[in-house]
Amino acid sequence: MSRRILVVNDTQEILELFREILEEEGFEAVLYSFAINDMREIERIQPDLIILDYVFGGERAGWQMLQKLKMRRTTAMIPIIICTAAIREVREIEGYLQAQGITVVAKPFNLDDLYYAIRVALKAPSHDASLVDRTNGGDNGGDDVAGD
């Protein structure tokens, strides 16, 4: 049975790219183009991992969704990867993210970085975070994927 990954991003092209990337790796991709406010929807989907953007249409809806996920007993232990171009904003809450075991992948991202973050998130206990950020140079020869 394949692992189910919920991807929440407000850009349709990015969602389709995630579908392609994840399904190639054997994952089941569930895509949402808006932040989910009703946590019962997350319970219904039962994702093994959530890949969440931080900013939706200029609003920090990803941050609000993240807080709701972590404050609800039934969703608090789901591993989360924040995949965003809003690195400055995410660095402001880096301590919280690390304490919650949330990994950050900066857009545009390298596919190898994303695959690594997914493997770690699916294996790790929920309080083992890292920041995957190669935006300061450093190319390892993998495919770069543009962000918005």
145 within a domain of the structure (yes/no):
no
104 within a domain of the structure (yes/no):
yes
| pLDDT given at position 131 | 46
Distance between CA atoms of 34 and 59, rounded to whole angstroms?
Answer: 11
| pLDDT given at position 116 | 94
Distance between CA atoms of 89 and 71, rounded to whole angstroms?
Answer: 21
* 115 neighbors 147 (Cβ within 8 angstroms): no
Domain count for the chain, please give it. Answer: 1
What does each of the 148 residues of the chain score in pLDDT, given as a tens digit? 689 999 999 999 999 999 999 999 999 999 999 999 899 999 999 999 999 999 887 788 888 999 999 999 999 999 999 999 999 989 999 999 999 889 999 998 899 999 999 999 998 654 444 444 433 333 334 444 444 4
| pLDDT given at position 129 | 44
50 within a domain of the structure (yes/no):
yes
Domain that holds residue 102: 4-135
